[in-house]
Structure 1
């Protein structure tokens, strides 16, 4: 079943930099990524069903960072639908991080669950977007660090259990799952991963368009 967006529905996007997409620099606060594309396409298709679109993504945030601001940034807005994309910063960035901190899958699961529980209790519709990592070959630049294939394989081994956490939580809470990791794997196999995310993490305009199209298939 799809989520029905009725006139007056409030939709909240939240997460990390992929959702943030420079929202504070944008006129409507939605940024320049998939939330803006979703809102624009919905408003084009359904001028008779106005929806309030909100974005509280913040670049660099982990699930624990979302939890720290959850009440003020999400719950207090009383959204009807909440769309969450988080997890890539909970991945094995510790291989280059100065603090060497490792976020275990079980800790990620517990924190994510604490995000979802109050929303489910309030009857909020949930869309969970899998974190994803595209298989970029060779050395690329992520922030200020040069990442080789070996490190990226370590990241993949660390991220896969966290993707599974998101899938399991979606089942537990009856949430709609946007299987972004699998989607991008299929797209990358057909046309090359750089077309969708030049650094394997942050979507290109085409990658944001793919996320938006997949998101819109979950709503009616």
Structure 2
């Protein structure tokens, strides 16, 4: 069984050691092999042109489609890099192509972030006022809902990472354990998962792939 990861820096496993990224963990859990087609910084719009080369040509059995963390990012007040309706349409387009090649698609929602303030974490890099009045976290939730809608329309599997993470937070796991922080990495990241965060991704996905 070959599992392809098609996404952004989260799929690419930036800051992770070998075997720590969710794609490798997922392949291990399923007893298969993996190919990583994650490219840091990409949106669904950026990634579409490389679908054939990086995914379809490799003929995987399963393709995890993980986008949204960059699509939602504001480029001006109230304006995201990829507008919500286009984001949803892009996902449907990707899944449709995968299904044409008999590749099982798995969409996944977006995990929460540490928003921080003007001095550290998300708002130190992205102007808070561009996300007014609801905040970046609310924008991410809307993109996750679009992912759920796309999965329902396409009839494909969905790993609801957002809900899985929220369930773990409700059980006492700290967001600072799941995301890279000043305390655990020396970096005020607040977006990229730790090895534990990647493990939660893999656990959420495997539950949707085992018949």
> What interval of TM-score do these two structures reach, taking the shorter chain for normalisation?
0.7 to 0.9
Separation in 2 of the partners of 1:187 and 1:200?
Answer: 17
Partners of 1:194 and 1:155 in 2: how far apart? 17
Structure 1 residues 136 and 155, CA gap change in structure 2 (3 angstroms): closer
1:218 to 1:35, Cα distance in 2 relative to 1, 3 A: same
Q: Does 1:41 align with 2:20?
A: no
State which of 104, 127, 143 in structure 1 corresponds to 2:106. Answer: 127
Could you say which residue in structure 2 is the equivalent of 1:12? Answer: 4
| Match of residue 147 from structure 2 | 166
Say whether the 8 Å CA contact 1:134–1:188 is kept in structure 2: no
Please state how far the C-alpha of 1:86 moved relative to its aligned partner.
Answer: 0.4
Distance 1:146 1:169 in 2: 27
Equivalent in the alignment of 1:48: none
Question: Does the 8 Å contact 2:45/2:82 carry over to 1?
Answer: no
Please list every run of 5 or more consecutive structure 1 residues that lacks an aligned counterpart in the other structure. 1-8, 44-50
Residues of 1 paired with 2:116 and 2:166: CA distance?
A: 14
Partner of 1:3: none
Q: Is the 8 A contact 2:115 2:136 kept in 1?
A: no
Residues 81-120 of structure 1: matches in 2 within 5 Å? 81-94=62-75, 102-120=81-99
- What is the CA distance between 1:21 and its match in structure 2? 1.1
Q: Distance in 1 between matches of 2:36 and 2:57?
A: 14
Whether 1:197 and 2:179 are equivalent positions in the alignment is: yes
Cα distance in 1 for residues equivalent to 2:81 and 2:43:
12
Distance of aligned partners of 1:150 and 1:109 in 2 relative to their CA distance in 1, 3 Å threshold: closer
Separation in structure 2 between the aligned mates of residue 209 and residue 76 of structure 1, nearest angstrom: 28
Change (3 A) 1:195 1:148: farther
Deviation at 1:69, TM superposition (A): 0.8
CA RMSD of aligned residues (A): 3.0
